[in-house]
Amino acid sequence: MTKVAFVTGATSGIGRATAFELAKQGYRIIATGRRAERLEELKQELTEVPVYTLEFDVRDKEATQQAVNSLPEDWRQVEVLVNNAGNAHGLSSIQNGSLDDWDAMIDINVKGLLYVSHAVLPLMMQHKKGHIVNIGSIAGKEVYPNGNVYCASKHAVDAISQGMRIDLVQEGIRVSEVNPGLVETEFSEVRFKGDKERAASVYKGFQALQAQDIAEIISFIVTRPAHVNLAEVLVLPTAQAAATILHKQQ
């Protein structure tokens, strides 16, 4: 029986690329997200390994638990969990912030990651083996203007990753955190609520990271020998030196 990787947010960007990359390493893939048609597309395209899809919103703790409970017996031996689902919603000063945006970021990026981990961890604990890869961000290391709550949500991912590593060391479960800078995905389209032009402008004038770059790093992390835990990676485009220091061509 081949090993199983559980990838949240596999309908787009980093999660989708990670599903393909881990498949190359022989993992069977549990792919999750809210968009059923995207999950179906992934299943049609990713034919190298068996793919099992789960459609649920990580904000909903009951739905998250039910989805994991619904896994057939031969899909329950999860060795790798990639906690990737997440987004920024809005880019506003604290005084102009939207409560709905704040709820979305805290509920998805922080509570959603916890709900998924809580549901999947017992599957790993049975075998005293597993690897959790949390997708943080440079926004979890720095705070930038108008990033306030998104940065807070990613700082929380950083703290949770460290806490998980401490608590799970005795279970033989590895915890890693990947913190990317600017990656060209649907991220900015979501942040700017479908404004494609504004989203595209974020990645103009320099070579942004691609989802594939991050997927390859995740694949490298989970394929290290059992005694090696690559605990944390900060990965930036060459043109980016810090959250707001970007060398753009005119």
Binding footprint of ligand NDP on the chain (CB under 6 A): 9, 11-15, 33-35, 38, 57-59, 84-87, 108, 112, 135, 137, 180, 182-183, 185-187, 190, 211
Pairing of strands 232-235, 240-242: unpaired
Q: For residues 19 and 138, which CB has a smaller minimum distance to ligand 8X3 in the complex? A: 138
Helix (H), strand (E), coil (C) string for 157-220: HHHHHHHHHHHHHHHCEEEEEEEECCEECCHHHHHCCCCHHHHHHHCCCCCCEEHHHHHHHHHH
Total of chain residues touching ligand 8X3, rule CB under 6 A: 6
Q: H helices within 70-112, ranges in order?
A: 99-105
84 binds ligand 8X3 (CB under 6 A): no
Q: For residues 84 and 137, which CB has a smaller minimum distance to ligand 8X3 in the complex? A: 137
- Using alpha carbons only, what angle is made at residue 171 by residues 232 and 105, rounded to the nearest 5 degrees? 45
Q: For residues 84 and 176, which CB has a smaller minimum distance to ligand NDP in the complex? A: 84
User: Would you mind telling me the total number of residues written for the chain in this entry?
Assistant: 250
The nearest distance, CB 187 to ligand NDP, in angstroms, is 3
Q: For residues 125 and 233, which CB has a smaller minimum distance to ligand NDP in the complex? A: 233
**Interaction pattern, residues 122-141, with ligand 8X3; x per rule: CB under 6 A:** ---------------xxx--
- Using alpha carbons only, what angle is made at residue 159 by residues 158 and 163, rounded to the nearest 5 degrees? 120
182 binds ligand 8X3 (CB under 6 A): yes
Q: Which residues are catalytic?
A: 150
